[in-house]
Structure 1
Amino acid sequence: MMVLELEVAGEMLMLLPQKAMYWPSNSTLIIADIHFGKAATFRRLGVPVPHGTTAQNLELLDELIMSYPTQHIIFLGDFLHAPDISAATLQSLLNWRTSHPALEMTLVRGNHDLRAGDPPQELGIHIVNEPFRSGPYAFCHYPDVESDGYVLAGHVHPSFHLHGKRDSLRLPCFVVGERRTILPAFGAFTGTYSMVPQVGEQIFIIADDRVMKIGN
Protein backbone atom coordinates (compact mmCIF):
# COMPACT_ATOMS: atom_id res chain seq x y z
CA MET A 1 0.00 0.00 0.00
CA MET A 2 1.26 3.45 -0.88
CA VAL A 3 -0.15 6.25 1.28
CA LEU A 4 0.19 9.94 0.59
CA GLU A 5 1.19 12.40 3.32
CA LEU A 6 0.02 16.01 3.25
CA GLU A 7 0.43 18.94 5.60
CA VAL A 8 -3.05 20.34 6.14
CA ALA A 9 -3.73 23.22 8.56
CA GLY A 10 -0.34 22.73 10.19
CA GLU A 11 -0.76 18.99 10.83
CA MET A 12 0.33 15.98 8.84
CA LEU A 13 -2.49 13.84 7.48
CA MET A 14 -2.22 10.56 5.62
CA LEU A 15 -4.51 9.80 2.67
CA LEU A 16 -4.98 6.04 2.63
CA PRO A 17 -5.80 3.82 -0.35
CA GLN A 18 -8.45 2.12 1.79
CA LYS A 19 -10.53 5.32 1.29
CA ALA A 20 -9.78 6.64 4.76
CA MET A 21 -7.63 9.30 6.40
CA TYR A 22 -5.23 8.99 9.34
CA TRP A 23 -4.15 11.79 11.69
CA PRO A 24 -0.92 10.46 13.24
CA SER A 25 -0.34 13.03 15.98
CA ASN A 26 -3.79 12.21 17.45
CA SER A 27 -3.82 8.48 16.60
CA THR A 28 -7.12 9.14 14.85
CA LEU A 29 -8.68 7.31 11.93
CA ILE A 30 -11.21 9.32 9.89
CA ILE A 31 -13.96 7.51 7.98
CA ALA A 32 -16.69 9.01 5.78
CA ASP A 33 -19.97 7.46 4.65
CA ILE A 34 -19.69 3.84 5.71
CA HIS A 35 -23.46 3.25 5.26
CA PHE A 36 -23.90 0.08 7.31
CA GLY A 37 -27.04 -1.77 6.25
CA LYS A 38 -27.34 -0.23 2.78
CA ALA A 39 -27.03 -3.47 0.83
CA ALA A 40 -29.59 -5.21 3.06
CA THR A 41 -32.00 -2.31 2.55
CA PHE A 42 -31.74 -2.67 -1.23
CA ARG A 43 -32.20 -6.44 -1.06
CA ARG A 44 -35.43 -5.97 0.89
CA LEU A 45 -36.61 -3.78 -1.99
CA GLY A 46 -35.93 -6.63 -4.42
CA VAL A 47 -32.69 -5.22 -5.83
CA PRO A 48 -30.06 -7.98 -6.32
CA VAL A 49 -27.00 -6.52 -4.58
CA PRO A 50 -23.98 -8.25 -3.00
CA HIS A 51 -24.03 -9.96 0.39
CA GLY A 52 -21.21 -9.57 2.89
CA THR A 53 -20.63 -5.81 2.66
CA THR A 54 -20.89 -5.34 6.45
CA ALA A 55 -18.22 -7.99 7.01
CA GLN A 56 -16.08 -6.41 4.31
CA ASN A 57 -16.32 -2.98 5.92
CA LEU A 58 -15.48 -4.33 9.37
CA GLU A 59 -12.55 -6.37 8.09
CA LEU A 60 -11.16 -3.27 6.40
CA LEU A 61 -11.55 -1.27 9.62
CA ASP A 62 -9.63 -4.00 11.45
CA GLU A 63 -6.91 -3.88 8.82
CA LEU A 64 -6.54 -0.12 9.31
CA ILE A 65 -6.52 -0.36 13.11
CA MET A 66 -3.76 -2.96 12.91
CA SER A 67 -1.74 -0.92 10.42
CA TYR A 68 -2.03 2.49 12.09
CA PRO A 69 -1.98 2.96 15.89
CA THR A 70 -5.57 4.04 16.48
CA GLN A 71 -7.09 5.38 19.68
CA HIS A 72 -10.04 7.20 18.11
CA ILE A 73 -12.22 6.74 15.02
CA ILE A 74 -14.22 9.71 13.77
CA PHE A 75 -17.07 8.80 11.41
CA LEU A 76 -18.02 11.75 9.20
CA GLY A 77 -21.71 10.92 8.97
CA ASP A 78 -23.93 8.24 7.43
CA PHE A 79 -22.94 5.45 9.79
CA LEU A 80 -26.28 3.68 9.32
CA HIS A 81 -28.06 3.84 6.00
CA ALA A 82 -31.66 3.38 7.10
CA PRO A 83 -33.73 2.95 10.28
CA ASP A 84 -34.61 -0.71 9.68
CA ILE A 85 -31.14 -2.15 10.21
CA SER A 86 -31.24 -5.95 10.17
CA ALA A 87 -30.62 -8.01 13.28
CA ALA A 88 -27.69 -9.71 11.54
CA THR A 89 -26.02 -6.39 10.70
CA LEU A 90 -26.54 -5.09 14.22
CA GLN A 91 -25.11 -8.25 15.75
CA SER A 92 -22.03 -8.00 13.50
CA LEU A 93 -21.49 -4.43 14.67
CA LEU A 94 -21.90 -5.39 18.33
CA ASN A 95 -19.46 -8.29 17.96
CA TRP A 96 -16.92 -6.04 16.28
CA ARG A 97 -17.29 -3.35 18.95
CA THR A 98 -16.75 -5.94 21.68
CA SER A 99 -13.39 -6.76 20.13
CA HIS A 100 -12.30 -3.09 20.46
CA PRO A 101 -13.52 -2.05 23.92
CA ALA A 102 -10.90 0.69 24.48
CA LEU A 103 -11.35 2.36 21.11
CA GLU A 104 -12.98 5.80 21.26
CA MET A 105 -15.55 6.41 18.52
CA THR A 106 -17.30 9.60 17.49
CA LEU A 107 -20.05 9.96 14.91
CA VAL A 108 -20.78 13.34 13.35
CA ARG A 109 -24.43 13.06 12.33
CA GLY A 110 -25.11 13.01 8.57
CA ASN A 111 -28.30 13.12 6.56
CA HIS A 112 -28.80 9.34 6.68
CA ASP A 113 -28.17 9.32 10.43
CA LEU A 114 -30.99 11.80 10.90
CA ARG A 115 -33.36 9.36 9.18
CA ALA A 116 -31.91 6.15 10.59
CA GLY A 117 -31.54 7.44 14.14
CA ASP A 118 -28.47 7.25 16.34
CA PRO A 119 -26.64 3.91 16.58
CA PRO A 120 -27.58 1.77 19.60
CA GLN A 121 -25.98 2.83 22.87
CA GLU A 122 -24.38 -0.61 23.16
CA LEU A 123 -21.97 0.39 20.38
CA GLY A 124 -20.46 3.03 22.66
CA ILE A 125 -20.29 5.76 20.02
CA HIS A 126 -20.22 9.42 21.03
CA ILE A 127 -22.78 11.23 18.84
CA VAL A 128 -22.26 14.89 17.89
CA ASN A 129 -23.57 17.45 15.43
CA GLU A 130 -21.34 19.21 12.94
CA PRO A 131 -18.95 20.91 13.16
CA PHE A 132 -17.07 18.78 15.69
CA ARG A 133 -13.85 20.62 16.53
CA SER A 134 -10.58 18.93 17.40
CA GLY A 135 -7.23 20.65 16.94
CA PRO A 136 -7.23 22.76 13.77
CA TYR A 137 -10.01 20.69 12.20
CA ALA A 138 -13.78 20.91 11.96
CA PHE A 139 -15.13 17.41 11.40
CA CYS A 140 -18.35 17.59 9.39
CA HIS A 141 -20.61 15.56 7.16
CA TYR A 142 -21.39 18.33 4.69
CA PRO A 143 -18.39 19.98 2.98
CA ASP A 144 -19.89 23.48 2.95
CA VAL A 145 -20.38 23.96 6.69
CA GLU A 146 -19.15 27.33 7.93
CA SER A 147 -16.45 26.97 10.56
CA ASP A 148 -13.32 28.69 11.78
CA GLY A 149 -11.54 25.34 11.52
CA TYR A 150 -10.30 23.48 8.46
CA VAL A 151 -13.21 21.28 7.33
CA LEU A 152 -12.86 17.53 6.87
CA ALA A 153 -16.09 16.15 5.41
CA GLY A 154 -17.81 13.45 3.38
CA HIS A 155 -21.36 13.24 1.97
CA VAL A 156 -20.41 13.72 -1.70
CA HIS A 157 -18.78 10.29 -2.34
CA PRO A 158 -16.29 11.99 -4.67
CA SER A 159 -14.76 10.31 -7.70
CA PHE A 160 -12.73 11.48 -10.68
CA HIS A 161 -13.38 10.49 -14.28
CA LEU A 162 -10.21 9.58 -16.16
CA HIS A 163 -10.52 9.67 -19.95
CA GLY A 164 -8.21 7.82 -22.32
CA LYS A 165 -8.26 7.56 -26.10
CA ARG A 166 -10.57 4.54 -26.06
CA ASP A 167 -11.56 3.97 -22.46
CA SER A 168 -12.60 5.88 -19.38
CA LEU A 169 -12.44 5.02 -15.70
CA ARG A 170 -14.09 6.50 -12.62
CA LEU A 171 -12.02 6.24 -9.45
CA PRO A 172 -12.74 7.32 -5.85
CA CYS A 173 -10.76 10.35 -4.78
CA PHE A 174 -9.89 12.85 -2.09
CA VAL A 175 -10.61 16.51 -2.90
CA VAL A 176 -8.20 18.80 -1.08
CA GLY A 177 -8.72 22.56 -1.03
CA GLU A 178 -7.58 25.59 0.93
CA ARG A 179 -10.41 25.40 3.48
CA ARG A 180 -11.71 21.85 3.21
CA THR A 181 -11.00 18.26 2.25
CA ILE A 182 -13.72 15.89 1.04
CA LEU A 183 -13.08 12.21 1.75
CA PRO A 184 -14.24 9.34 -0.47
CA ALA A 185 -17.03 7.08 0.76
CA PHE A 186 -15.58 4.21 2.80
CA GLY A 187 -18.55 1.85 2.46
CA ALA A 188 -18.23 -1.20 0.23
CA PHE A 189 -21.59 -0.56 -1.45
CA THR A 190 -21.87 3.16 -2.21
CA GLY A 191 -22.23 5.18 -5.39
CA THR A 192 -19.93 8.03 -6.39
CA TYR A 193 -20.24 11.53 -7.78
CA SER A 194 -17.82 12.78 -10.42
CA MET A 195 -15.99 15.86 -9.16
CA VAL A 196 -14.76 18.83 -11.14
CA PRO A 197 -12.19 20.55 -8.93
CA GLN A 198 -12.82 24.15 -8.00
CA VAL A 199 -10.12 26.80 -8.06
CA GLY A 200 -7.48 25.91 -5.48
CA GLU A 201 -8.57 22.27 -5.15
CA GLN A 202 -6.42 19.22 -5.85
CA ILE A 203 -7.60 15.73 -6.72
CA PHE A 204 -5.93 12.63 -5.29
CA ILE A 205 -7.28 9.45 -6.87
CA ILE A 206 -7.22 5.97 -5.37
CA ALA A 207 -5.95 3.41 -7.86
CA ASP A 208 -5.64 -0.12 -6.49
CA ASP A 209 -3.28 0.15 -3.50
CA ARG A 210 -1.98 3.69 -3.95
CA VAL A 211 -3.08 7.32 -3.72
CA MET A 212 -1.92 9.56 -6.55
CA LYS A 213 -2.25 13.25 -7.33
CA ILE A 214 -3.90 14.22 -10.61
CA GLY A 215 -2.47 17.20 -12.46
CA ASN A 216 -0.03 19.78 -11.12
Structure 2
Amino acid sequence: MSGKAGNEVGGQVGDQAGGAMAIELAGESVLLLPEKALYWPRPRMPVVADIHFGKAASFRALGVPVPRGTTSENLAGLDALLATHDIGHILFLGDFLHAKAAHASATLQAMLAWRERHPVLALTLVRGNHDKHAGDPSRLLRIDLVDEPHRIGPFAFCHHPDLPADEAYVLAGHVHPVYRLAGRRDALRLPCFVAGARRAILPSFGAFTGGHPVEPAAGERFFLVADDRIFAIGPG
Protein backbone atom coordinates (compact mmCIF):
# COMPACT_ATOMS: atom_id res chain seq x y z
CA MET A 1 0.00 0.00 0.00
CA SER A 2 2.10 2.91 -1.15
CA GLY A 3 2.02 5.97 -3.28
CA LYS A 4 4.99 8.14 -4.16
CA ALA A 5 5.20 11.71 -5.31
CA GLY A 6 8.23 13.28 -3.71
CA ASN A 7 7.54 11.65 -0.34
CA GLU A 8 6.50 8.08 0.42
CA VAL A 9 3.02 7.74 1.88
CA GLY A 10 1.79 4.55 3.45
CA GLY A 11 4.91 2.62 2.52
CA GLN A 12 4.33 0.48 5.59
CA VAL A 13 0.74 0.13 6.71
CA GLY A 14 -0.33 -2.21 9.44
CA ASP A 15 -2.37 -2.59 12.60
CA GLN A 16 -0.61 -2.04 15.91
CA ALA A 17 -1.46 -2.75 19.52
CA GLY A 18 -4.17 -0.56 20.94
CA GLY A 19 -5.94 -0.16 17.61
CA ALA A 20 -3.32 2.18 16.14
CA MET A 21 -2.15 1.97 12.54
CA ALA A 22 1.47 2.31 11.46
CA ILE A 23 2.20 4.16 8.24
CA GLU A 24 5.23 5.79 6.68
CA LEU A 25 5.31 9.52 5.92
CA ALA A 26 8.36 11.26 4.46
CA GLY A 27 10.51 8.27 5.35
CA GLU A 28 9.42 8.31 9.00
CA SER A 29 7.36 5.65 10.72
CA VAL A 30 4.36 7.17 12.53
CA LEU A 31 1.30 5.82 14.28
CA LEU A 32 -2.25 7.00 13.64
CA LEU A 33 -4.01 6.67 16.97
CA PRO A 34 -7.70 6.02 17.67
CA GLU A 35 -7.41 8.86 20.19
CA LYS A 36 -7.34 11.09 17.06
CA ALA A 37 -3.67 12.00 17.32
CA LEU A 38 -0.56 11.12 15.33
CA TYR A 39 2.40 9.68 17.24
CA TRP A 40 5.95 10.09 15.94
CA PRO A 41 7.99 7.52 17.90
CA ARG A 42 11.50 8.74 17.15
CA PRO A 43 11.13 12.04 19.11
CA ARG A 44 8.52 10.48 21.44
CA MET A 45 5.99 13.07 20.30
CA PRO A 46 2.27 12.95 19.65
CA VAL A 47 0.80 15.58 17.33
CA VAL A 48 -2.64 16.92 18.24
CA ALA A 49 -4.82 19.15 16.06
CA ASP A 50 -7.64 21.51 16.99
CA ILE A 51 -8.22 20.81 20.67
CA HIS A 52 -10.22 24.07 21.03
CA PHE A 53 -10.08 24.56 24.78
CA GLY A 54 -12.91 26.79 25.95
CA LYS A 55 -15.22 26.32 22.98
CA ALA A 56 -18.18 25.28 25.11
CA ALA A 57 -17.51 28.15 27.51
CA SER A 58 -17.46 30.52 24.55
CA PHE A 59 -20.89 29.31 23.46
CA ARG A 60 -22.27 29.61 26.99
CA ALA A 61 -20.93 33.17 27.17
CA LEU A 62 -23.14 33.90 24.14
CA GLY A 63 -26.16 32.41 25.89
CA VAL A 64 -26.14 29.09 24.02
CA PRO A 65 -26.93 26.17 26.38
CA VAL A 66 -24.21 23.59 25.68
CA PRO A 67 -22.79 20.82 27.88
CA ARG A 68 -20.13 21.48 30.50
CA GLY A 69 -17.10 19.33 31.05
CA THR A 70 -15.43 19.60 27.65
CA THR A 71 -12.20 20.98 29.17
CA SER A 72 -12.01 17.98 31.50
CA GLU A 73 -12.72 15.69 28.55
CA ASN A 74 -9.89 17.24 26.52
CA LEU A 75 -7.46 16.92 29.42
CA ALA A 76 -8.52 13.32 29.99
CA GLY A 77 -7.80 12.67 26.32
CA LEU A 78 -4.27 14.00 26.74
CA ASP A 79 -3.83 11.88 29.86
CA ALA A 80 -4.91 8.82 27.86
CA LEU A 81 -2.12 9.51 25.36
CA LEU A 82 0.42 9.89 28.15
CA ALA A 83 -0.72 6.65 29.78
CA THR A 84 -0.43 4.65 26.57
CA HIS A 85 2.72 5.95 24.86
CA ASP A 86 6.26 6.97 25.70
CA ILE A 87 5.94 10.76 25.44
CA GLY A 88 8.33 13.60 26.16
CA HIS A 89 6.76 16.31 24.02
CA ILE A 90 3.26 17.16 22.75
CA LEU A 91 2.91 19.34 19.65
CA PHE A 92 -0.41 21.11 19.03
CA LEU A 93 -1.29 22.02 15.43
CA GLY A 94 -3.16 25.21 16.21
CA ASP A 95 -6.49 26.23 17.68
CA PHE A 96 -5.42 25.39 21.21
CA LEU A 97 -7.84 28.04 22.51
CA HIS A 98 -11.18 28.64 20.83
CA ALA A 99 -11.83 32.28 21.75
CA LYS A 100 -11.08 34.89 24.41
CA ALA A 101 -13.66 33.22 26.68
CA ALA A 102 -11.22 30.29 26.94
CA HIS A 103 -9.19 32.46 29.35
CA ALA A 104 -12.00 32.10 31.92
CA SER A 105 -10.74 31.28 35.41
CA ALA A 106 -12.36 27.84 35.64
CA THR A 107 -10.89 26.73 32.30
CA LEU A 108 -7.44 28.07 33.16
CA GLN A 109 -7.39 26.50 36.62
CA ALA A 110 -8.24 23.08 35.19
CA MET A 111 -5.46 23.42 32.61
CA LEU A 112 -2.96 24.58 35.25
CA ALA A 113 -3.82 21.64 37.50
CA TRP A 114 -3.15 19.30 34.56
CA ARG A 115 0.15 21.06 33.84
CA GLU A 116 1.27 20.68 37.44
CA ARG A 117 0.78 16.91 37.10
CA HIS A 118 3.13 16.88 34.07
CA PRO A 119 5.82 19.45 34.93
CA VAL A 120 8.62 18.07 32.72
CA LEU A 121 6.49 17.48 29.63
CA ALA A 122 7.47 19.74 26.73
CA LEU A 123 4.55 21.49 24.98
CA THR A 124 4.65 23.35 21.67
CA LEU A 125 1.79 25.22 20.01
CA VAL A 126 1.84 26.12 16.33
CA ARG A 127 -0.52 29.08 16.35
CA GLY A 128 -3.77 28.70 14.39
CA ASN A 129 -6.45 31.14 13.32
CA HIS A 130 -8.44 30.77 16.56
CA ASP A 131 -5.29 31.33 18.62
CA LYS A 132 -4.74 34.67 16.93
CA HIS A 133 -8.21 35.82 18.02
CA ALA A 134 -8.14 34.19 21.45
CA GLY A 135 -4.64 35.34 22.35
CA ASP A 136 -1.75 33.19 23.53
CA PRO A 137 -2.28 30.72 26.37
CA SER A 138 -1.21 31.74 29.86
CA ARG A 139 2.54 31.76 30.37
CA LEU A 140 1.93 29.65 33.47
CA LEU A 141 1.19 26.71 31.16
CA ARG A 142 4.80 26.86 29.88
CA ILE A 143 3.95 26.25 26.23
CA ASP A 144 6.48 27.13 23.52
CA LEU A 145 4.68 29.26 20.93
CA VAL A 146 5.70 29.12 17.26
CA ASP A 147 4.26 30.20 13.92
CA GLU A 148 3.60 27.96 10.95
CA PRO A 149 5.37 26.31 9.25
CA HIS A 150 7.36 24.85 12.14
CA ARG A 151 10.07 22.54 10.80
CA ILE A 152 11.28 19.42 12.59
CA GLY A 153 13.12 16.84 10.52
CA PRO A 154 11.26 16.11 7.26
CA PHE A 155 8.01 17.63 8.54
CA ALA A 156 6.48 21.10 8.44
CA PHE A 157 4.00 21.37 11.28
CA CYS A 158 1.22 23.74 10.28
CA HIS A 159 -2.31 24.64 11.21
CA HIS A 160 -3.46 25.32 7.65
CA PRO A 161 -2.97 22.38 5.26
CA ASP A 162 -2.44 24.52 2.15
CA LEU A 163 0.48 26.51 3.52
CA PRO A 164 3.54 26.19 1.23
CA ALA A 165 6.41 24.46 3.03
CA ASP A 166 9.11 23.99 0.39
CA GLU A 167 10.12 20.31 0.26
CA ALA A 168 8.88 19.41 3.74
CA TYR A 169 5.97 17.06 4.31
CA VAL A 170 3.10 19.04 5.84
CA LEU A 171 1.23 17.85 8.93
CA ALA A 172 -1.79 20.07 9.53
CA GLY A 173 -5.22 20.41 11.09
CA HIS A 174 -7.84 23.16 10.68
CA VAL A 175 -10.28 21.15 8.56
CA HIS A 176 -11.68 18.77 11.23
CA PRO A 177 -12.09 16.08 8.52
CA VAL A 178 -14.84 13.47 8.77
CA TYR A 179 -15.83 10.81 6.26
CA ARG A 180 -19.40 9.74 5.54
CA LEU A 181 -19.54 5.97 5.57
CA ALA A 182 -22.90 4.99 4.09
CA GLY A 183 -24.72 1.67 4.00
CA ARG A 184 -28.05 0.75 2.50
CA ARG A 185 -30.11 2.06 5.39
CA ASP A 186 -27.78 4.10 7.54
CA ALA A 187 -24.73 6.34 7.48
CA LEU A 188 -21.97 7.33 9.89
CA ARG A 189 -19.74 10.39 9.98
CA LEU A 190 -16.36 9.23 11.27
CA PRO A 191 -13.33 11.39 12.09
CA CYS A 192 -10.47 10.62 9.76
CA PHE A 193 -6.84 11.22 8.90
CA VAL A 194 -6.20 12.25 5.29
CA ALA A 195 -2.76 11.33 3.92
CA GLY A 196 -1.42 12.26 0.50
CA ALA A 197 1.93 12.56 -1.20
CA ARG A 198 2.88 15.94 0.28
CA ARG A 199 0.64 16.45 3.29
CA ALA A 200 -1.50 14.79 5.94
CA ILE A 201 -4.47 16.34 7.74
CA LEU A 202 -5.31 15.24 11.27
CA PRO A 203 -8.81 14.98 12.73
CA SER A 204 -9.89 17.36 15.45
CA PHE A 205 -8.78 16.08 18.86
CA GLY A 206 -11.07 18.26 20.96
CA ALA A 207 -14.44 17.48 22.42
CA PHE A 208 -17.34 19.53 21.03
CA THR A 209 -15.57 20.56 17.82
CA GLY A 210 -17.69 19.05 15.04
CA GLY A 211 -16.38 17.94 11.67
CA HIS A 212 -16.25 18.86 7.99
CA PRO A 213 -17.10 16.13 5.43
CA VAL A 214 -14.26 15.52 2.98
CA GLU A 215 -13.72 13.35 -0.09
CA PRO A 216 -10.35 11.87 -1.08
CA ALA A 217 -8.44 13.62 -3.85
CA ALA A 218 -6.22 11.72 -6.27
CA GLY A 219 -3.52 9.80 -4.42
CA GLU A 220 -4.98 10.37 -0.97
CA ARG A 221 -5.82 7.71 1.58
CA PHE A 222 -8.31 8.05 4.39
CA PHE A 223 -7.78 6.44 7.78
CA LEU A 224 -11.03 6.34 9.71
CA VAL A 225 -11.36 6.47 13.48
CA ALA A 226 -13.98 3.90 14.48
CA ASP A 227 -14.36 3.36 18.22
CA ASP A 228 -10.98 2.11 19.41
CA ARG A 229 -9.23 1.37 16.11
CA ILE A 230 -8.11 2.86 12.79
CA PHE A 231 -8.95 1.37 9.42
CA ALA A 232 -7.87 2.47 5.96
CA ILE A 233 -9.88 3.19 2.83
CA GLY A 234 -8.82 4.51 -0.55
CA PRO A 235 -6.34 3.39 -3.21
CA GLY A 236 -3.82 0.81 -2.14
**TM-score tier after normalising by the smaller chain length:** over 0.9
SS in 1 for 2:132: helix
The one-letter amino acid paired with 1:118 is: D
Q: Is the 8 A contact 2:216 2:234 kept in 1?
A: no
Structure 1 alignment gaps of length 5 or more:
none
CA deviation string 1:77-112 (max 9, x = no partner): 000000122210000011111111111110000000
Matches within 5 A, 1:189-200: 189-200=208-219
**1:39 counterpart = 2:72:** no
CA distance in 1, matches of 2:20, 2:65: 34
Distance in structure 2 (CA, Å) of the matches to 1:115 and 1:57:
21
What does residue 93 of structure 1 align with? 111
Aligned mates of 1:18, 1:75 — CA distance in 2: 14
1:78 aligns with 2:92: no
Is residue 205 from structure 1 mapped to residue 216 from structure 2 by the alignment? no
Give the corresponding residue for 1:151.
170
Runs of 4+ in 1 over 3 A off after TM superposition: none
Instruction: Calculate percent identity across the aligned residue pairs.
Output: 58
2:183, 2:64 → 1: CA distance? 32
**Residue 22 (1) aligns with residue 59 (2):** no
Say what the alpha-carbon RMSD is for the aligned residues: 0.8
TM-score (norm 2): 0.90
Q: Aligned residues, how many?
A: 216
2:83 aligned partner, one-letter code: M
Q: Are 2:111 and 1:111 equivalent residues in the alignment?
A: no
3-state SS, counterpart of residue 79 of structure 2: helix
Structure 2 letter corresponding to 1:163: A
Amino acid aligned to 2:73: Q
| Matched residue type, 2:130 | H
Asked if the contact 2:30–2:41 (Cα under 8 Å) also holds between the matched residues in 1, the reply is: yes
Offset, 1:34: 0.2
Q: Name the CA distance, whole Å, in 1 between partners of 2:34 and 2:226.
A: 8
State the secondary structure of the residue aligned to 2:19. coil
SS in 1 for 2:118: coil
Counterpart Cα distance in 2 of 1:49 and 1:19: 23
The letter for the 2-side match of 1:146 is P
**Amino acid paired to 2:21:** L
**2:180 corresponds to which of 149, 154, 161:** 161
The residue type paired with residue 43 of structure 1 is R
Shift of residue 163 of structure 1? 1.1
Letter in 1 for 2:85: Y
Q: Residue 26 of structure 2 corresponds to which residue in structure 1?
A: 9
| Structure 2 portions without partners, runs of 5+ | 1-17
Alignment partner, residue 134 of structure 1: 152
